[in-house]
Amino acid sequence: MTAAIFLGSLLGLIALGLPIAFALMFAGIALMLVTGQFDSQIVVQNAIAGADNFVLMAVPFFILAGELMNAGGMSKRIVEMASAFVGHLRGGLGYVAIGAGLLLASLSGSAVADTAALAAILVPMMRQAGYDPGRACGLMAASGIIAPVIPPSIGFLIFGVTANVSITRLFLAGIVPGMLMGLALVVTWWFVARTQQAAVAPRVAWKRRLRLLGQGGWALMMPVIIVGGLRFGIFTPTESAVVAAAYALFVGLVVYRELNWRNIYDSLLSTARTTAVVLLLAALAMVASYMITITDISGQVGGWLQTLTEHPTLLLAAMMAVVFFAGMVLDFIPIVLIFTPVFLPIIKAAEIDPVYFGVVFIMNCSIGMITPPVGVVLNVVSSVGKVSMTEAVRGIGPFLVALVLLLVLLILFPALVTVPAEWWR
């Protein structure tokens, strides 16, 4: 009964156009009223507790690192470097997009920022070379959503805080699955590129390649610093976010010299706006999470899924199906905040590794960002790439199928996540 009340009030408020953060809070209050436990102090205390978390300090710093990276010329140099090495292949600019997407993912952790940077640079180039603009935008969007899976990942931060799971383990466990996403896109693009009647860029001389590699080397050092620091315990995930932001600022100011006071101010302003949205969601979602625990909604859902708890693969597949369909109508962070407190007790009861679940769950949430009709990353790439939403949806088709098939493989064969994760421990 309480599960139906929570879900009905949440979906009803979202349908009325209420911002998701407030919809989550009022859904929690609805549960309080129904159970006779309403207390405004509990609402305020849980909201404060939701935002008052040291680990969440990493969110604004990772966002700031991404903003400074784009404003300071790191994104541009990564694209130039990738283009020098694979741009001459048939469909070369597509491989550049995937390679640059992987590299940017290891720098920023924000799918929206990475997709906007890729689309702004590469879509005009692909259009001029004769590629189908819709297909190009689809590839940019699919490459951009690798960001929440490869560290540093804002998605893993939010999940780790909500589920009380080691963020360092999540970061390290996401490396190989993120690379598999890139590989899946490479294979798919190889087939798609055969149908594209596009010009092939001339091969770049090794002298210029080495020069571009040297320029891009400063950008390539950031993931090495972050992953190495986490792996050897030099700093925590929160501290790694500060290191990333400081490094991006240093490279943009001192090395590339493309940062000035104006774009630093713009980066700080954009970071503040994005952080406010994320932290408000985290704060008000805690009200709903508290009531989900008090009213034992996870136990009720567990009762519905009781027949599957002895079959972990089927249980996980059922959960991922729910998350996939939720991704069609909800944004990334709300899905994480809504479903994590509901699913996690069931996952633990079924003896599924929470870190493995977190990787598969976040990958599924990422796929939701390119799933119509909402698809926030699709909207971004449609706007930046100057194509209609219909063209972007058509263009994403083969890449969406490839990523869903990869998700199915990770569900059927958990060792693809758990075994590589052990290498980093």
Q: Please tell me the predicted confidence (pLDDT) of residue 65.
A: 82
Query: What percentage of residues in the chain have a pLDDT greater than 90?
Result: 14
pLDDT at position 402 is: 95
Confidence of residue 238 (pLDDT cuts 50, 70, 90): confident
Average pLDDT over residues 66-75: 80
Contact 236, 169 (CB under 8 A): no
Residue linked to tokens 């004769």: 130
Label residue 189 by pLDDT band (50, 70, 90): very high
Residue 202, judged by CB atoms within 10 A of its CB (0-12, 13-18, 19+), counts as exposed
pLDDT tens-digit readout, 344-355: 888 888 888 999
User: Would you give the DSSP letter of residue 204?
Assistant: P
Q: Are 129 and 201 in contact (CB under 8 A)?
A: yes
DSSP secondary structure letters along 284-346: HHHHHHHHHHHTTHHHHHHHHTGGGTT-HHHHHHHHHHHHHHHTTTS-HHHHHHHHHHHHHHH
Better pLDDT: 316 or 91: 316
User: Is the per-residue pLDDT at 359 higher than 90?
Assistant: yes
Answer whether 189's CB lies under 8 Å from 131's CB. Answer: no
Q: Kindly state the percentage of the chain with pLDDT values over 70.
A: 93
**pLDDT per residue over 268-316, tens digit each?**
998 888 788 778 877 887 787 777 777 777 666 666 666 677 788 888 9
Computed from CA positions of residues 383, 387, 391, 397, in that sequence, does the dihedral angle turn out positive or negative?
A: negative
Residue 118 and residue 137: Cα distance in Å, rounded? Answer: 9
CA angle 226, 282, 60 (to 5 degrees): 35
Cis peptide before 60 (omega within 30 of 0): no
How do the domains of the chain map onto residue ranges?
A: 55-423
Which phi and psi (to 5°) does residue 297 adopt?
-65, -40
Token pair 């020098």 in the structure block, residue: 84
pLDDT digits (tens, 9 = 90+) for 199-214: 667 787 888 888 888 8
Provide the strand spans (E) within 18-111.
none
